[in-house]
Every structure is written in C-alpha cells, then in structure tokens.
Amino acid sequence: MTGSSTLGHRTTGGSTLGYLSPDDPEAIGAMWQTFKGYTVRPVPSTESYYQSVLERLHRDGDQVLIYGGTPEVRDCAGRLGANAVLVDRSRVMVEAMGLLTTARRALGRNERFVEADWLDIPLPDGSFDIAIGDDAINMVDWTDFGAFLSTTARLLRPGGHFVCHLLVQPAAELRRR
C-alpha cells in the first residue's frame, strides 16, 4: 500500500494513527467516546435508521461487511446476530472502537477483522449480502469513489445492498464528473 490512513482514503506518509499512540486502544477509545453524538459518529437518529434498514434487509446466515469499526454500526449488526467482517487498515482502531460497543470487546463474537485498504479488499467476489459503513464513502478521496463503489459491488452477492450516506456535496465543477 502507498501512504496510510485511519480509514480508507489514501494519503502520503505518516502514521496510521498519528494523533495517538498506535498501540493504545483504550486511549483511542476514550478520545473517540468524546465524539459521541457529533458528526464523526452516528447520532441516535442515524443509528436508529441503520438498525431499521438492517432489520429489514438481514436474513439469518447473511454475511455483513462493515467498513471501519464504528461502534454504533457494530451494535446494530450485533443486535441482529449478524456475521460481520470488519475491514479497515488499522486493527488497533477497530479494536479501540470495539471497546465503545455494547459488548465492550475489541471484537464481538459475531465479528471477524480483515486488515485491508477499502479500495483493494482481498476477499472473494460475492462474499456479502450487505455492506455498511457510516460515512465510509466520505473517507475515500473523491477521485477514488468509482474504485470504492466497484469494490463494494464486487464483494456483494447479486441482490446485495450497500448502506451508506454521503454528507458532502462536491464543488460545482466536479458535480458532473
């Protein structure tokens, strides 16, 4: 991989978690707990929406891809007993977010972690019924949206669903690209 990032987008150089010690999940979790209720974490209405969508879409035995380690998304999948694969470039970040879930575990019983860049996930085509990531597309460079969406589509089974919301509006000159 070239560059690094806490989530999916590419940057150049630097530590994956440059703002904190990369080996201290408890410190990372404590810092991220301060963001609860702000836009970097799902607000209660967004979590409720994710829960209702997952309840509508999920069937026993479905495989769920979760981009990143967002505690609220993981709790939604956990309440359904969904088999979840969490994909992120940073194991420590996912484990830290796990400490903020209802289970308060680095990885829940229903979760498996795969360390990978979101643009190049080394899993077989058609592995998942549902892909979900709170603001996941916002963590990818605009120029990589196509690659991100293609990767997601490749990983979904026919009839699969991608659940995500986009919070930004591109500049006027980019809207038709």
Specify the residue for token string 């940073």: 90
> For 4-48, what is each residue's pLDDT tens digit?
333 333 433 334 445 555 577 677 666 666 666 655 678 888 889
Smallest CA-to-CA distance from 47 within 81, 13, 73 is with 73
CA distance 86 to 99: 14
Across 53-82, average pLDDT: 95
CA distance 163 to 136: 10
At 176, is the pLDDT very low, low, confident or very high (cuts 50, 70, 90)?
low
Average pLDDT, the chain: 82
Better-scored residue on pLDDT, 104 or 174: 104
| Per-residue pLDDT at 165 exceeds 90 | no
| Per-residue pLDDT at 85 exceeds 80 | yes
Is residue 144, in this structure, part of any structural domain at all? yes
Is residue 7, in this structure, part of any structural domain at all? no
CA distance 24 to 39: 24
C-alpha distances out from residue 145 to 24, 138, 139, Å? 31, 9, 10
Classify 40 as helix, strand or coil.
Answer: coil
DSSP 147: H
Least confident interval from 60-64, 162-166, 168-172: 168-172
Is residue 57, in this structure, part of any structural domain at all? yes
CA distance 62 to 60: 6
Q: Cβ(73)–Cβ(165) under 8 Å?
A: no
At 65, is the pLDDT very low, low, confident or very high (cuts 50, 70, 90)?
very high
Better-scored residue on pLDDT, 61 or 170: 61
Could you give the number of structural domains in the chain? 1
Q: Tokens in use for 162?
A: 């991608």
Is residue 42, in this structure, part of any structural domain at all? yes
State if pTM tops 0.75: yes
Is residue 172, in this structure, part of any structural domain at all? no
Q: What number of residues does the chain have?
A: 177
Range of 149's domain? Answer: 25-167
Q: Tokens in use for 164?
A: 């995500």
- Residue 156 sits in a domain whose CATH number is 3.40.50.150
> For 115-143, what is each residue's pLDDT tens digit?
999 999 999 999 999 999 988 887 888 89
- The bridge status of strand 63-67 relative to strand 83-88 is parallel
